[in-house]
Amino acid sequence: MLRRAEFWGGLFWLALGAFVTWQGWLLELGTLNEPGSGFVFFWLGLFMSALALSITVAGARGDGPLLADLWRGARWRNVVMVIAALIAFGALFQQLGFVICSLALLLFLMTFVDPVSPKLSIPISLVASVGVWYVLEKVLLVQLPKGSWLEDVPYLSWLAG
């Protein structure tokens, strides 16, 4: 039972359903004449819980694939690396600005996730990050983070405006 993917999937949604129901209760249900802010949350939470419970029970009875089967033969390290790179991008976006962050992201993905020859990855990353920055900032006038850490760095301060 504990190795079944359906069981764990159902359990996750069951917990979420219970949480939504509880939040709905806290937000106040109101009356049928005048439903409160939590009315829809409460009933939706119960609905979610009921559906999730049926999925959990079916999973516990042995329906569906095993948890390990879902990643058998998959290059799951690529997924982890991409997620980590995106989180790092989000965390440093304001500090390093768009150009440095996107350049680093592209180089990382083309070097470590699905490797491409440096002869290709370096020019593509440079052209893409500077090109997109130019089009957005100068042509479409979309403001991108300029990089608060770059303001005093020689040769790079132009990026910070």
Partner 1 sequence: MDVLSGLAQGFAVALDPINLLYCFIGVFIGTLVGVLPGIGPISAMSLLLPVTLSGSPESGIIMMAGIYYGSMYGGSTTAVLVNIPGEAASVVTCLDGHEMAKRGRAGPALGIAALGSFVAGTFAIVALMLVAPMLAKVAVAFGPPEYFSLMVLGLTILSFLTQGSMAKALLMAAVGVVIGLIGLDQINAMPRLTFDRLELVDGIGLVPVVMGLFGVAEILANIEQQIRRDIVQSRIGSLLPSREDLKASAGPVGRGTLLGFLLGVLPGGGAVIASFASYAIEKKLSRTPERFGKGAIEGVAGPEAANNAAAGGAFIPLMTLGIPPNVIMALLLGAFVIHGLQPGPLMMSQNPKVFWGIVASMYVGNVMLLVLNMPLIGMWVQVLKAPYKILFPLILMFCIVGVFASGNAVFDVFVMIGTGLLGYLMRKFGYEAAPLVLAFVLGPMLENNLRKSLILSQGSFDIFVMRPISVACLALAALLLIAPLLPALRKKREKVALDVTE
**Contacts (CB under 8 A) with partner 1, residues 25-44:** 27, 31-41, 44
Build a one-symbol-per-residue string for 92-131: x at contacts with partner 1 by CB under 8 A, - elsewhere.
-xx---x---x--xx--xx--xxxx---x---xx--xx--
Give phi and psi for 115, each to the nearest 5: -60, 140
- 135: tokens are 């089009």
79 touches partner 1 (CB under 8 A):
yes
Can you tell me which of 72, 119, 140, 154 binds partner 1, judged by CB under 8 A? Answer: 140
Binding-site residue total for partner 1 (CB under 8 A)? Answer: 67
Which DSSP letter does residue 109 get?
I
Q: Which is nearer to partner 1, 35 or 160 (CB)?
A: 35
- Helix 118-134 to helix 76-108 angle (10° resolution) is 70
Q: Which residues, in sequence order, are CB contacts of 46 under 8 Å at separation 6+?
A: 17, 21
Q: Give yes or no for residue 132 binding partner 1 (CB under 8 A).
A: yes
